[in-house]
């Protein structure tokens, strides 16, 4: 087993320049403030300091920089931070999304797309776009409100699955740049906090939670979901994947 970050849940992770950056998460009732970098064969801890420790932030990469928004520790947060591979910098650009954790986020060529999340009770149904210098809220057709959904780039858009809003959700949504549209297709069982990432022209989804923990693997090929009957990690929720 490769040594690296200590066991934790609800962390933040995104790809940057051929590497993967992991920040924070939750260990028991504490929120570590550490940044880790995976180079393809081993983990190393960055000396960078900056954001307060947190779980459930939205994170994506754009133009060689990672952006991280919100999350929660002893309170729900609404701050924006960027990481260039060496140091963290806080952005105060306005406007900015409202307090939230558990939002879905995915990187595209020219922006990072963030949807939903929640403050302390009611899930959100709004989309925010990070341009590299600031946030904007487009006027578009929105997906239904949810927290704990998972998203990944697919083609020129974004695929989003599941989440929770009074009940666990098992719906699939596609972001075209002009709005969200629900795909009429069967797929994984309803769940929140699954891990999802793009791989070789498909999207791979693993795990999640709907009162019990999932350990199943699914792939999306652009028109349908297919379950992969393969051995893999033990069942879990609030894990992370990136491409």
Q: Give the pLDDT of residue 121.
A: 84
Q: Could you tell me the two tokens for 228?
A: 């992969």
* List of domains in the chain: 12-228 (2.120.10.80)
Instruction: State the pLDDT at residue 106.
Output: 97
> Per-residue pLDDT averaged across 51-61, rounded?
97
Task: Please answer whether residues 194 and 150 qualify as being in contact, where contact means their C-beta atoms are separated by less than 8 angstroms.
Answer: yes
Residue 240 CA, distance from chain mean position = 7
Whole-angstrom Cα distance, residue 48 to residue 69?
A: 17
Which residue in this structure is represented by tokens 């297709």?
A: 185
Q: How far apart are CA 86 and CA 226, in angstroms?
A: 39
**What is the tens place of the pLDDT at every residue in 180-227?**
999 988 899 999 999 999 999 999 999 999 999 999 999 999 999 999
d(CA 9, CA 6): 10
Task: Check: pTM over 0.85? Answer yes or no.
Answer: yes
Separation in Å, CA 28 to CA 10, 32, 38, 77, 105: 11, 10, 23, 19, 25
- Please, which residues have CB within 8 angstroms of residue 94's CB and are 6 or more apart in sequence? 134
Give phi and psi for 235, each to the nearest 5: -55, 140
Instruction: Quote the tokens at residue 101.
Output: 């954790």
Q: What is the per-residue pLDDT across 6-49, written as a single tens digit (0 to 9) for each?
A: 999 999 999 999 999 999 999 999 999 999 999 999 999 999 99
Residue 68 has pLDDT above 60, yes or no: yes
Q: What is the pLDDT of residue 9?
A: 95
Segment 108-150, tens digit of pLDDT: 889 999 999 999 889 999 999 999 999 999 999 999 999 999 9
Strands (E) in 46-194, as ranges, are 58-62, 65-69, 80-83, 88-91, 104-107, 112-115, 127-130, 135-136, 150-154, 157-164, 168-175, 180-183
């Amino acid at each position: 087993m490769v040594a690296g970050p200590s066991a934790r849940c609800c962390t933040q992770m995104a790809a940057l320049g051929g590497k993967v950056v992991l920040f924070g998460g939750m260990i028991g009732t504490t929120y570590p403030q550490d940044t880790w970098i995976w180079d393809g064969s081993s983990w190393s801890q960055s000396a960078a300091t900056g954001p307060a420790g947190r779980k459930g932030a939205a994170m994506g990469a754009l133009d060689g920089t990672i952006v991280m928004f919100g999350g929660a520790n002893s309170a729900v947060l609404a701050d924006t931070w960027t990481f260039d591979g060496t140091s963290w910098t806080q952005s105060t650009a306005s406007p900015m999304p409202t307090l939230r954790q558990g939002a879905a986020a995915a990187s595209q060529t020219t922006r990072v797309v963030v949807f939903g999340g929640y403050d302390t009770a009611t899930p959100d149904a709004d989309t925010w776009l990070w341009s590299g210098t600031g946030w904007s809220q487009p006027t578009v057709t929105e997906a239904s409100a949810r927290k704990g959904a998972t998203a990944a780039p697919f083609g020129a858009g974004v695929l989003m699955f599941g989440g929770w809003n009074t009940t666990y959700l098992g719906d699939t949504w596609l972001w075209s740049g002009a709005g969200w549209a629900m795909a009429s297709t069967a797929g994984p069982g309803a769940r929140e906090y699954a891990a999802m990432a793009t791989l070789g022209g498909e999207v791979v989804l693993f795990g999640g939670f709907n009162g019990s923990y999932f350990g199943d693997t699914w792939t999306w090929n652009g028109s349908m979901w297919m379950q992969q009957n393969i051995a893999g990690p033990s069942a879990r929720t609030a894990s992370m994947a990136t491409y």
